[in-house]
Amino acid sequence: MKTIHTMRKTIHQLRERPKEDRLAVAGSVATGVVVVLFVGWIGAFFIGQNSTLAQAPSNATAAAGSSSVTTFEWQQTVASPETGTGVAQ
């Protein structure tokens, strides 16, 4: 509640300042918002990339002893247009 009161007081004080000051504050706030959004986007992008890159190709069927095809090779085969079956992943 105190934060809202402080923000309103600051906004009221800015209204009394010259246009250049208000423009400078608005530009600073806009730049801050863009930086926060950009950092969040970069973080989400790299977290998504790292989670897929960090997973070593493993093969559950190879562990069972039925095949030596890695997950990556299997995905390439399924996504291959020559097979005519499966869906590209």
Domain coordinates in residue numbering, the chain: 2-55, 58-89
**pLDDT band (50, 70, 90) for residue 83:** low
Share of the chain above pLDDT 90, in %: 39
Selected residue with higher pLDDT from 81 and 40: 40
| pTM across the whole model | 0.48
Query: Residues 14-46, buried b or exposed e (16+ Cβ, 10 A)?
Result: eeeeeeeeeeeeeeeeeeeeeeeeeeeeeeeee
Determine phi and psi for 15, rounding to 5 degrees: -65, -30
Decide if pLDDT at 5 tops 80: yes
